[in-house]
Amino acid sequence: MTRVHRPILFALILVFVGLFQSPCLAGQYQVSRIIDGDTIEVAKGATKLTVRLVGMDAPEASHKKHEPGQPFSQQSTKYLAKLALNRSAEVKSYGADRYGRVLGEVFVDGNNVNLEMVKAGLAEIYRGTPAQGQDLGQYWKAEEEAKRAGKGMWVLGDKYVSPREWRKTHGN
């Protein structure tokens, strides 16, 4: 199977699983890689999945060599690594995105990693269409508290630019 076919096959499997099973992907996964502040790779045996942390959006990392990316992108990626890298995780799936990534809430030791990123001020609530069935109430509360406390990226005040706007102006 080619790499081009894997995301399509995976998306079809997620649709099938979503129709007949609970929203949690079965079993524990090992977080094997942190791609950026809102994307990880998990593994279980020979199965590797890319998970886009749903409900939140972290500052954009640069995809170009020698460019730093959005302010706080490196801190966000490092914090996510501290929370999850090489740890056992449960993934609650909300389907797949257009790239074939699992849209998921990630839990390590019972803690919601997505929510922890927002609490730390290293991610905001995703401003696009929310995942169907995800309750963002505690995310909104966490974001407000992080803003009030000036945590992470919120220390930038009026100079803060959302990841969504950053992508529009920087081509990410």
Residue 169 is predicted with a pLDDT of 87
Could you tell me the residue ranges of all domains in the chain? 5-170
pLDDT means per 10 residues in the chain (172 residues)? 56 46 65 97 95 97 82 96 98 94 96 98 94 95 98 96 90 65
5-170: CATH number: 2.40.50.90
Q: How far apart are CA 96 and CA 94, in angstroms?
A: 7
Is 52 an active-site residue? yes
Are 26 and 93 contacting, i.e. CB atoms less than 8 angstroms apart?
Answer: no
Residue 72: closest CA among 169, 157, 171: 157
Between the alpha carbon of residue 41 and those of residues 62, 103, 142, the distances in Å are 18, 12, 25
Is 3 an active-site residue? no
Q: How far apart are CA 147 and CA 74, in angstroms?
A: 19
Catalytic residue among 90, 101, 105, 143: 101
Catalytic residue among 6, 33, 60, 127: 60
Residue 172 is predicted with a pLDDT of 60
Residue 109 is predicted with a pLDDT of 96
Residue 170 is predicted with a pLDDT of 83
Q: How far apart are CA 66 and CA 59, in angstroms?
A: 17
Residue 161 is predicted with a pLDDT of 94
Q: How far apart are CA 72 and CA 68, in angstroms?
A: 9
Q: How far apart are CA 154 and CA 144, in angstroms?
A: 10
pTM of the prediction?
Answer: 0.83
Is 101 an active-site residue? yes
